[in-house]
Amino acid sequence: MQTDSTSTDTRKRNNKYFTNHHKKRKLFTIEPGMTGFLCTCNFNEKGCITDAYKLLNQFADEDAMSKRVEEPKVSDASDTLDKKEDKSSSDFDKEEDISTALEKEIDELRTKSEIPLYSRRFQVVDTNVKNMIFIKSTLPKPLELVTKIVTELDATKKQCTRYLLRLLPIEVVCKAYMDDIRTKANVLLEEYFSQEPKTFSIVFNRHSNNSIKRNEIIEDLAEIISKKNPGNKADLKNPEIAVVVEVIRGLCLLSIAPNYYKFKKYNLIEICNSTKNKESEIKGDESEIKDDETEKDEIKNP
């Protein structure tokens, strides 16, 4: 009797473990409504995640610091009086300032460590597709951060990633149904195509999904863009903006990518490779992820 009771308790604990483990995995899966960054790699996903965290945090911190520096400093009479204080008093204040700064830094680190994973500035979530990583972000404009990254890499040619290949800013994640895609795309494209006329291309990538019709999604998005401004024209070779559609299983990820071919389809390794000739801006490069279930297409002039 005792043995049966022990085995029953063991089974209950194991079932509880697997149930909690399943819930945890489900919590960190890409879902509609998210925004962030789509990363691709060649087989080393852990290295890709490390590269992505390091790069995104570096540029996000630099951006935050530059905004603080640009804030106007308010001066008043108290500033003038402070400058006339005795040197001994100012030395004492400096020691206090250093101590206060250290305490503040420790408090900030402690606060960051206590932030729930799902509320952090950058958090990896599962796409259920090999070699494709999604970094969920709380930043309101992922495109702004990626633009800073690719612009600097293009100027310096300094390679700062080893396993992370492509880095796409994802502004919309929705279900892979045409009605949902049209609704979300209509709102997103309003911001980029309703003002001055622009040249554009639509890039379609499909991963582990056979239900979405390639021609339908390309034609529908082209129609939406044309209605935003009749002056918008398709251009395959050198579009001002590429609308990149990544269909991953049951989800559709929409990305706005200015200078898509100039920045080597946002392949960070290729951007830093200064020996590439101009033809690589149009042709696909070999370092991108290969998948038998991936299809690519672009819109032609309607």
pLDDT at 290: 45
C-beta separation of 170 from 37 below 8 A? yes
Q: If we measure between CA atoms, which residue out of 167, 174, 122 comes closest to residue 147?
A: 167
Q: What is the pLDDT of residues 58-70, one digit of tens each?
A: 999 988 787 766 6
Question: In this predicted structure, what is the pLDDT of residue 13?
Answer: 58
pLDDT band at 125, cuts 50/70/90? very high
* Rounded CA separation 159/273 (Å): 8
Range with lowest mean pLDDT among 10-19, 115-124, 290-299: 290-299
What is the DSSP secondary-structure string of the chain?
-HHHHHHHHHHHHHHHHHHHHHHHHHHTB--TT--EEEEE-SS-HHHHHHHHHHHHHHHHHHHHHHHHHHSPPP--HHHHHHHTS-HHHHHHHHHHHHHHHHHHHHHHHHHHHHS-GGGSSEEEEB-SSTTEEEEEE--S-HHHHHHHHHHHHHHH-----SS--BEEEE-EEEES-HHHHHHHHHHHHHHHHSSS--EEEEEEEEES--SS-HHHHHHHHHHHHHHH-TT-EE-SSS-SEEEEEEEETTEEEEEEEETTTTTGGGBHHHHT-TT--GGGGTSPPTTS---TT--EEE----
**Out of 66-70, 80-84, 162-166, least confident range:** 80-84
Tokens encoding 14: 């194991």
For residue 146, pLDDT over 50 is answered with: yes
The dotted CATH code for 36-66+116-276 is: 3.30.2130.30
What does the pLDDT read at residue 65? 82
Residue range 225-248, pLDDT digits in tens: 999 999 999 998 899 999 999 999
Question: Residue 117 corresponds to which tokens in the numbers above?
Answer: 């994973």
CA–CA distance from 54 to each of 16, 50, 159, 161, 163 (Å)?
35, 6, 13, 9, 12
For the chain, what are the domain ranges?
36-66+116-276
| pLDDT (mean) for 1-15 | 57
- 65 and 157 in contact (C-beta within 8 Å)? no
| pLDDT at position 118 | 47
Mean pLDDT of 128-151: 95
In the structure encoding, which two tokens stand for residue 143, read together?
């495109």
Contacts (Cβ under 8 Å, ≥6 apart) of 224: 182, 185, 186, 189
Non-local CB neighbours of 219 within 8 Å, separated by 6+ positions: 299, 302
pTM of the model: 0.71
